[in-house]
Structures are given as structure tokens and as C-alpha cells.
Amino acid sequence: MSSPSSILRRALLGRPVASSAHDAPRLGRWRALQATSSNALSSLAYAPDEIILTLVAAGGATLWLGPFVGWAVVAVMVLTVLAFRAAVVAVPQGGIHRMARTKLGPRSGVLAAAALLLDFVFTAAVSVAAFAHHLSVLVPAVDGLTWLVAGAALVLVLLSALRGDAGRGRLIPVVVTAFVVLLAALVAVGLWQDGQGRLAAASTAGLTVADAGLGSAGGLATALLALRAFSAGSVLLTGVEVPLSATHRMARPAVRTVRWVLAVLALVVGALTVGVMHLAQRTGAVVALDPAALRHPDGTPLAPGEEPGPVLGQLADAVFGAGSPGATAVIAVTCLLLLVAARGSFHSFPALASRLAAEGYLPRQLRVRGDRLVHTWGVLALGAGTLLLLAVFRARTALLVQLYVIGVLLAFTLALIGMVRLWRGKLAHTPGVRARASVRLRYLVTALGLAVTGLAAVVVLVTRFRQGAWVALLAILFGALVMGRIRRHYRAVEAELAPDPQDDARALPSRVHVVVVVSTLNRPALRALAYARATRPSSLEAVVVDTDRQATERVVEDFARAGLPVPLTVVAAPYRDTVVPLVRHVRSRRSRSPRDLVMVFLPEYVVRPGWRTLLHNRTATRQTRRLQREAGVMVGSVPWQIHEGDPRTGDRTPPDAVGHTRRGPRDSAP
């Protein structure tokens, strides 16, 4: 089995892992936090950028709004997490999808699931795109190659995902911890410098957009701008739901662990976000969707190479000094964290897809675990989806984010609607004052969470509708529709295939007619005839489809000469089609008595390596496919392994081993 491809496979993906390795020990609090927080933390690498570039696009005079928008986003995030912390008590397993389904029914569950699946694809795409963006700060040589770097990162992450958890080791916890520590240090030092009045300005401070529509317009325009910035920044919410779907891997009591993880995660992400937004405002850092529109205070455009880098990079340069070890470390660990976040999507997506497949909403292949215990099809599907997004959006983070947020907010809103209903129901049925007080608190927290996520969803939908939110919405609706249809199909098939007591499928056919299709009377055909006779059928005939007069005559002659105890039927094919006349003949054989079974034996050559198969008529394949659509017909393939060519095949499978034993070296002695 060690063909070159399987050696390569082993080298890249490792040895197969037995199913018994599936039951890994559960994760403690800190390990659980580290394992599930990369998605939420990675938002810090692009959420501030999104807020600032929205404000800058309006001229830059409104940059002072930045910290306020940051506070608003963090507030929504914290309220949502509080609602989740309440929800997990009632629905400890299954995450957002299950929450939405519990009270709103399968349709809403599927809608939330579709939104989350799309969200995971966007997370992977945004993460590798942002990775390429940040890497270009460290390695200026890759600056123009965003698309290439993002693609390479995707391949890397994909390979790691195909290797599975077995090879993960301790890299991820280290990266996550280092990111949090470094970012905390950045914020702390920066704010301390600011307090001392020693905070340096960002290299981009003072840049403005040439001809912004807004300038210093009125209050309504400013409010609208703040809403737009808020909707861009709400990308920060993505990923806070990840711990919810990992409770089954957390140390018992799992609910308590996950509640702790959620709280700490919200605290860390919230504090860091507020800190970063404040620092950004104080240093005057500027980023822009289109750097060519930026102008120096004196009106001159940017020189080549002066394009602003990501916000975290600008802050690290301002606080630690450009090119200092500290600044380099911040960007390097951000790059790593973005890869870890993409890798996280390659865990979350296949897991959710597999759960949906188990319920019949997605193709069953998504449930299959490959030889590394990984949901191979899920990983590959996500890889393909991510590649598509990267290609469509040319790996530009800012464009990707436009479509990103609506999916998460929709899923959160659906889940929290379900939870509000659940708590309201519980409230009505909970006796006792203290218990009722606890439930009422949860009800209120959930309602508040729902109010803010719902509001955020409306804001995003309204302010981003034309920039692509409608595409994401359509994609989610379409995905939910398809998932519903898939489930209907599986249901119908299952119902049809279920055996019932008076089932006729168990009844033996009363008679078996065997038809052997012969195109040349060569050894494969002779073997097929022998095999067919070995089944001792009620009736047996050989059939030749007459597409070529000369060839048919030769078969008829050979057949007569061979003296086989089998009648030969010539089926006319005036239009040279080998399939339809054969099917008609087989059908006519059966229609004489519908309780009969027709077995069609087709001699087939098996040729390897692959390219040689192009040299042989695929007639048998086409005949098989068509005959399989006939009722009461069974198709038997009698393979003949062509020896020539691949010595490996030849050694293992002697082509003529049936009917005689291979002669040993004894026979070849003189």
C-alpha cells in the first residue's frame, strides 16, 4: 500500500488514528479558555481598523467618535455574553443552533445554523486575509502579494486541520496567552505614556481623505456615521459563541466551566478593545479602505510605501517605538493568532456540519471521520468556501468584513429569541420565590441581550444593506432552504427503505434469467459466461449488440466454433447505440413474468494506471449505469485485471488465478 501518494499523505497528515482515540480528557477552565477564545480575540486584529476606516472615510474630523463606538460595541458584546451565560444553564449542549431550535422549531434552528456556517467561512477567510495584511508589516516584501500569502496560509491551516487534533500539541494555548499578555502590555504602557503626556503620535496621524462626502456635517449625519462605524465594529461579536458549542469537551461541571470561560473571555476582549480604541484615538492612527484617497495635512497624496498599516501595528510602533522588539512581537503574535483563529474555524465548521448531517440537514458524508478522526469533507468544504471568498474579495479584509457580521447577529438574535421564550415559559412554571427570582433575572438578562443584538442586527442590515449584507442574507436563506430540502429527501428515502412485516423485498424471485453481454468472444467474455453458468440460473443467454456488422459476424462465428452450451442472441442497434437496445432487450426478458429477476453479466477490463482507461470503451460502465435504473434487474460486473503495465498490480492479483492455480517454479524446471 505504500504508493508514492500514500507516503506523501503519511508525511503531510500522519498515521491513521484509531476510533478509540476519540475520547480525549476534558479541558480544565484555562485550557478551555485558551482553546475556544482565538476566534473572539482575533477580532481585535481587524475590528478597530474597521471602525476607524469607516470614520476616516467621512473625512477624519469625526475620529473622536472611535472610543465611543468601541464602548458601544463592547457593551453589546458583554450583554450578549451575559444572555449566553444564562442560556447555557437551560441548553448546556449544542450551542446557538440548539438554542434557536429549542423554542422556535427546526426552521429557525436551521436558519441559525446556516448563518453560523457562513460565519465560520468568513472567519477563516477574514483571518487569513488579515494574516497576510499583518505579515506585510513584518515582511514588506510580501506587500503586493496579499492574495498569494493568504492562499498559502489557507493551505497551511487546511493541512493542519486535516492532521486533526492529534498533532495540535501546545502551540495554540501559547499563542493565545502570548497575544493577550502582549496586547495588555501594549494598552497598559500606552495609557501610562498618555497619562505622562509622552505618548507618541501615530505615523499616520493627521492624514485625511481628499474629498469626503461628509466633512463636518450636521448632527444627523454624525449619528448615521456613528451607526455605520458601530456596524463595522460589531465584527467584534463574532466568536464569543464558540465556547457554547464546546461544553462537551469541558471539565465537569461543564456548565460552570463554560460560564466562567464566557465571563473571562468577555472581560478580556472588552477591556482590550476599549483600550485599543482609546490608544488609537490618542495617537491619531488612521487607516483607509482606499489608501490612494488619503492626503497629508498639506494636501499632497501619500508617497509609495507610506500606506498605513493595521491599527495594532501602528499602536505598537507608537508605544514601543517603530521596529523595536516589542512592536515586532505584537505583530508577530497577532499573525500567529490569526492563523490559530482560522484553524479554529476548521474545527467549528466541520463539527457543526457533522451535527447537522447527523440530523439529516446536510449530506451524510460530512459525518464521516477520515483516518485522522477528522471530518474530512467538512474541512474540505470549508477550505473550498474560504478559497472562493478570498478569490471573490481578492483577500481584502475590509471588503470581507462588510458581509461578515450579519450572519452572526442573525444567529445570535434567533438564539436569544428562543431563549427569551424559554425563560418566559420557565417563569410561568417555576414555584418558589427564590427560584422565580433567579429565573426572572435570567429572563431579563436574556431580554436585554436580545434587545441589543436585535438592534445591532437592524443597524447592520440598514447601514450595510447595499454594501453586501443583502448577499449574505440571501446566502443564508438559500442555505437554510437547501438544508430543509436535503432533510426532506433523506426522510422520504428512509421511509421508502424501511422494511415492513409483509415486505416483498424479502421474497425470493421466482425465476432468474441471466444475460451475458458479449462484444468479442475473448477470455473476459468466456470467464463471464463461466461465472454466469456457475450461478445455475433458470435460463441463460449470451447477447451481442450489433453496432458493427463485421464484429457481430465474428462473434457469431467464434461462438459457434467454441461450442458453448449457451444460446446467443443478436440485438439490433441500427443507430449504433449500445445502451438503449440492450436495455430494451433486458426489459422484454422480464416483462414476460414480472416476478422474475434478470441478472446481466458484463465482462469488464480493469486497466491501470489510470490514463490507460481512456483507451478502452466505457461501454460497460454506461450500460451498468443505465441498467441500474431498471426494476428487477441486477448487474454483475465480471472484472478482468489487465496484467500489462503496472507490475505491482500484476504481482498482487494474478489475472487468471480463477480456474487454475499458478504454476510454481517446479513446473519451469527442465
Residues 12-31 touching a copy of itself, rule: CB under 8 A, are 16-20
- Look at the block and give the residue holding cell 514588506: 140
Angle, helix 146-163 to helix 4-13, in steps of 10 degrees: 90
CB of 209 to a copy of itself, least distance (A): 37
CB of 542 to a copy of itself, least distance (A): 13
Q: Cell triple for residue 582?
A: 440492450
Stretch that binds a copy of itself, among 29-37, 80-88, 193-201, 531-539 (CB under 8 A): 531-539
Backbone angles phi, psi at 352, to 5 degrees: -65, -40
In the bound state with a copy of itself, the residue whose beta carbon lies nearer, of 177 and 613, is: 613
CB 375 within 8 A of CB 367: yes
String marking each residue 443-482 x if it binds a copy of itself according to CB under 8 A: ----------------------------------------
CB of 638 to a copy of itself, least distance (A): 5
Name the nearest CA neighbour of 464 among 394, 398, 393, 396. 398
In the bound state with a copy of itself, the residue whose beta carbon lies nearer, of 126 and 642, is: 642
Of residues 351-370, those binding a copy of itself (CB under 8 A):
363-365, 368-370
In the bound state with a copy of itself, the residue whose beta carbon lies nearer, of 64 and 575, is: 575
Name the nearest CA neighbour of 523 among 578, 603, 599, 600. 603
String marking each residue 390-429 x if it binds a copy of itself according to CB under 8 A: ----------------------------------------
CB 562 within 8 A of CB 521: yes
CB of 648 to a copy of itself, least distance (A): 11
CB of 298 to a copy of itself, least distance (A): 42
CB of 654 to a copy of itself, least distance (A): 6
- In order of 20, 49, 241, the CA distances from 232 in angstroms are 45, 9, 19
CB of 541 to a copy of itself, least distance (A): 17
Of residues 369-388, those binding a copy of itself (CB under 8 A):
369-371, 373
CB of 476 to a copy of itself, least distance (A): 21
CB of 597 to a copy of itself, least distance (A): 6
In the 8-state DSSP scheme, what is residue 200? P
In the bound state with a copy of itself, the residue whose beta carbon lies nearer, of 295 and 626, is: 626
Sort strands 294-295 and 633-641 into parallel, antiparallel or unpaired.
unpaired
Q: Exposed, middle or buried, 454 (CB in 10 Å: 0-12/13-18/19+)?
A: middle
Backbone angles phi, psi at 640, to 5 degrees: -125, 115
Size of interface with a copy of itself, in residues (CB under 8 A)? 98
Residue 569 β-bridge partners: 543
In the bound state with a copy of itself, the residue whose beta carbon lies nearer, of 271 and 583, is: 583
Of residues 487-526, those binding a copy of itself (CB under 8 A):
489-490, 492-493, 496-499, 503-509, 512, 520-524, 526
CB of 586 to a copy of itself, least distance (A): 12
In the bound state with a copy of itself, the residue whose beta carbon lies nearer, of 421 and 511, is: 511
From candidates 159, 605, 610, 663, binder to a copy of itself by CB under 8 A: 605
CB of 544 to a copy of itself, least distance (A): 15
Q: Radius of gyration (Cα) for the chain, nearest Å? A: 33
Q: Exposed, middle or buried, 260 (CB in 10 Å: 0-12/13-18/19+)?
A: middle
DSSP 26-73: PB-HHHHHHHH-HHHHHGGGTHHHHHHHHHHHTTSTTGGGHHHHHHHH
Stretch that binds a copy of itself, among 63-71, 138-146, 277-285, 652-660 (CB under 8 A): 652-660
> In what helix (H) or strand (E) does residue 230 lie, and over which residues does it extend?
helix 219-233
Dihedral through CA 100, CA 102, CA 108, CA 111, nearest 10? 60
Our finding on whether 656 is near a copy of itself (CB under 8 A) is yes
In the bound state with a copy of itself, the residue whose beta carbon lies nearer, of 298 and 667, is: 667
From candidates 191, 329, 332, 530, binder to a copy of itself by CB under 8 A: 530
In the bound state with a copy of itself, the residue whose beta carbon lies nearer, of 206 and 639, is: 639
CB of 2 to a copy of itself, least distance (A): 14
Among the residues of 393-469, which ranges form H helices?
397-429, 433-464
In the bound state with a copy of itself, the residue whose beta carbon lies nearer, of 148 and 657, is: 657
Alpha carbons 657 and 3: distance in angstroms, whole number = 24
Of residues 608-647, those binding a copy of itself (CB under 8 A):
608, 612, 614-617, 624, 627-645
String marking each residue 540-579 x if it binds a copy of itself according to CB under 8 A: -------x--------------x-x---------xxxx--
Sort strands 208-209 and 294-295 into parallel, antiparallel or unpaired.
antiparallel
DSSP 282-305: HHT----SSGGGEE-TTSPBPPTT
From candidates 222, 430, 438, 649, binder to a copy of itself by CB under 8 A: 649
Of residues 319-348, those binding a copy of itself (CB under 8 A):
none
Q: Cell triple for residue 287?
A: 487607516
Which residues lie closer than 8 Å to 602 by C-beta, 6 or more apart?
517, 528, 620, 623, 624, 635, 636, 637, 638
